[in-house]
Amino acid sequence: MRSISLKGFSRLRRLSVLLSLSALACCAHDAVLAFHVEPPLLCPNQTVAITWKVRGRAQLKANPTPPGWKEDVPSDGGLPAVTVGQDTTFTILAPDANQARGSSFASQEARVTAQTDNRAVQAMCDASGTCSGTLTIDADKSVRVKRMANPTWRSGFKVADHEVCVTPPSGSRTCLAPNTSAALDLPASGVWKFDMKLAQTELGDPPPELRVFFDFGCK
């Protein structure tokens, strides 16, 4: 049976020095340092701007891959106008990095607006039974919310119909009854506020989510 060397253990002081050195040396390892895909929500065939900074060699992947796409890219670079026809995930890689250290790759998605999305707000409820919260949509200015529909609330992972009121970034508060919809045609980008009033039999603990379906469209 082997045993642990006492001689090795007596070197703990040098070990701690090495650990300190390793902390300093961390910054010399290949890694993704910065990555941005803007805007994350846009209309079909608009363009996104992609910027990145990688320590070491860099690759930029796209899924689905546009025609003529070149994965090998400079370590510090950008593509100012990549046309996106469908939802596309961009991934920046530091291919020579030790993946076990982390920051060897990162992914961001550009979504186009050809879909209806169920959008949820993490709400908090006050003593009066009013529950409210916000979400922030980062989108190209041409992206619009054309319609809102079918409000629900979720408490403890149970989803139920409920009236929810919505205040758009630029517009007035609109209350949606269960299983109803409202036409809007307002810019999507900005902070949206959802609120609802708890019925006497409803509990605000755990804090609920308020949900409304958004139909996105383009100007």
Partner 1 sequence: MITLQQLQGLVDTIVVVMMENRSFDHMLGFLSHEAFDGRPDIDGLRLPTKDFDLSNPDSAGRLFAPTATPDGYLPTDVPHSRTEVATELRGGAMDGFITTYQASQSLDKSPVPMRFNRPDDIPITASLARNYTVCDHWFASVPADTQPNRMMALSGETLIDSTPGSLTLFKAEHTLLDWLASKKLDFKIYVDARSILDVGPPSNLLLMPSQWGHVLAHAEPLDGLAEPWKSDAPAPKFMYCEPFYNDFATVLGQHGNCNHPPLPVGYGEDFLRRVYETLTSNPKKWARTVLIVCYDEHGGFFDHVAPPHMTYAPPPGNKWTQQVPFATLGVRIPGIVVSSLVAAGSSSHLLFDHTAILQLVVDRFGTPADLGFFGQALARKTNRTNPVQSLGSTLTLSAPRNDILTGLVSPVVHTGAATTPPISELGMLFRQVLAAKPAKRP
Interface with partner 1 in residues 61-80 (CB under 8 A): 61
Nearer to partner 1 by Cβ, of 40 and 77: the residue is 40
Is position 94 an interface residue for partner 1 (rule: CB under 8 A)?
yes
Report the distance separating Cα 184 and Cα 187, nearest Å: 9
Tokens of 116: 């209806």
Helix (H, G, I), strand (E, B) or coil at 69: coil
Stretch that binds partner 1, among 33-41, 80-88, 164-172, 173-181 (CB under 8 A): 33-41
Is 197 exposed, middle or buried, given 0-12, 13-18 or 19+ CB atoms closer than 10 A? middle
Report the distance separating Cα 208 and Cα 5, nearest Å: 56
Return the residue of 38, 87, 126, 138 that touches partner 1, per CB under 8 A: 138
Stretch that binds partner 1, among 42-50, 75-83, 119-127, 178-186 (CB under 8 A): 119-127
Is position 137 an interface residue for partner 1 (rule: CB under 8 A)?
yes
Nearer to partner 1 by Cβ, of 22 and 128: the residue is 22
Nearer to partner 1 by Cβ, of 104 and 132: the residue is 104
Stretch that binds partner 1, among 62-70, 73-81, 132-140, 175-183 (CB under 8 A): 132-140
Nearer to partner 1 by Cβ, of 137 and 165: the residue is 137
For residue 126, count other CB atoms closer than 10 A to its CB.
Answer: 10
Q: What is the arrangement of strands in the sheet containing 58-63, beginning at the earlier edge strand? A: 41-42, 105-112, 88-93, 58-63, 72-73
Is position 208 an interface residue for partner 1 (rule: CB under 8 A)?
yes
Is position 15 an interface residue for partner 1 (rule: CB under 8 A)?
yes
Residues, the chain, total? 219
Stretch that binds partner 1, among 62-70, 157-165, 178-186, 195-203 (CB under 8 A): 157-165
Is position 4 an interface residue for partner 1 (rule: CB under 8 A)?
yes
Report the distance separating Cα 42 and Cα 204, nearest Å: 35
Is position 118 an interface residue for partner 1 (rule: CB under 8 A)?
yes
Return the residue of 66, 76, 83, 160 that touches partner 1, per CB under 8 A: 160
Q: How many residues touch partner 1 (CB under 8 A)?
A: 71
Report the distance separating Cα 104 and Cα 29, nearest Å: 10
What are the counts of helices (DSSP H) followed by strands (DSSP E) for the chain?
2, 18
Task: Indicate the pairing of strand 41-42 with strand 105-112.
Answer: parallel
Return the residue of 146, 154, 193, 197 that touches partner 1, per CB under 8 A: 154
